[in-house]
Amino acid sequence: MKSSPRNLAIVAALLYVVLVSAIVYAYLFFNIFQSISPIVWILITTLIVAFPAFYLSFKMFFHKKTNERIADNSNLHPTPSPPVGSYFNLSEEITELKKLETFRKEFLGNVSHELKTPIFNIQGYIHTLLDGALRDDAVNVQYLQRAARSAERLSLIVDDLEAISKFESGELILDQRTFDIYDLVKDAYDSNELLAIEKNISLSFKKESEQPFYVYADKERIRQVIVNLVTNSIKYGKEGGSTVTGFSETEENVLVEVTDTGIGMEPKHLPRLFERFYRIDKSRSREAGGTGLGLAIVKHILEAHRQTISVRSTYGAGTSFTFTLKKAK
């Protein structure tokens, strides 16, 4: 217990009570066979009344002395005023909290909407089949196929959310090894060849980039990054356009750049491009497919590698994504 004025006053008052009580009980013990005299009752009553008065006196005395000491110390060591910058810091924190709250509300609304769409479609197709369309050979298989596609989309959304959750919680362990990033991009080009032919978009490499560039990273996770960027460049590319990938080396990293000649983006969209479920043109984005979580996963994968990704875009002219990977020794 700290030796504060309040505690000292309590101890002093208790000592006083104990002392007087001892006197009273001693008197009663030696006069047990005698009737209690009026003097004893007066003493007990005095004790009861005196205790609060005694306690308050001590409290006021010690508080007075303590206040005097505090005043003396304040004169010797005046308390500095809070720096002006602290008020600005507090204002910035409040602004940041408001932004986070807005983001949380938007995210919950987006999750609800993204999950509701496939669930609503599945319910609609199944109820239609149960209401009699199941016996109609002209539509039953078609409706089942549409319900299956919606179920797959729902599964992809859940899988992507789970992946992001694991990245954010640090549960996902990277399997890093040395591999050729040029060869990995070639595989991504091959897997998107049919989509590129459909839109008449050429897939190529920059000059002097058609050679091995070895990096040290999780190959399958970086495959996700490359496939996402290449697929997006085709989906949102212009008919007859192109997607070009280039590589360059620094002392420690390999820089990878995926550039397209697509529709591009306005500057206002770029700061939020890697947010979960953020879509520039919501109707067009859903028609193109995807869960709306691709770029968010890309960002988390690269951050897990302690690397960064940036984007440059000109509306109507195209977009360029640039990220780094650790160069293999």
Residue 296 lies in a domain: yes
Mean pLDDT of all residues in 9-21: 55
Tens digits of residue pLDDT in 54-100: 445 544 544 554 455 445 544 544 545 555 555 557 777 777 676 66
Tell me, what's the pLDDT at 252?
93
Average pLDDT of the chain to the nearest whole number: 76
Q: DSSP per residue over 299-310, as a string? A: HHHHHHTT--EE
Query: Contact, 310 vs 322, CB < 8 A?
Result: yes
Rounded Cα distance between 13 and 24, Å, is 17
Instruction: Name the residue range of residue 117's domain.
Output: 102-169
Number of domains present in the structure of the chain: 3
Residue 272 lies in a domain: yes
> Are residues 136 and 47 part of one domain?
no
Nearest to 182 by CA among 215, 221, 231: 215
Provide the 8-state DSSP code for 172: P
Nearest to 234 by CA among 197, 271, 269: 197
> Are residues 187 and 313 part of one domain?
yes
Residue 203 lies in a domain: yes
Tell me, what's the pLDDT at 259?
95
> Are residues 184 and 239 part of one domain?
yes
Q: What is the CATH number of the domain that holds 121?
A: 1.10.287.130
Tens digits of residue pLDDT in 285-314: 455 555 678 898 899 999 999 999 999 999
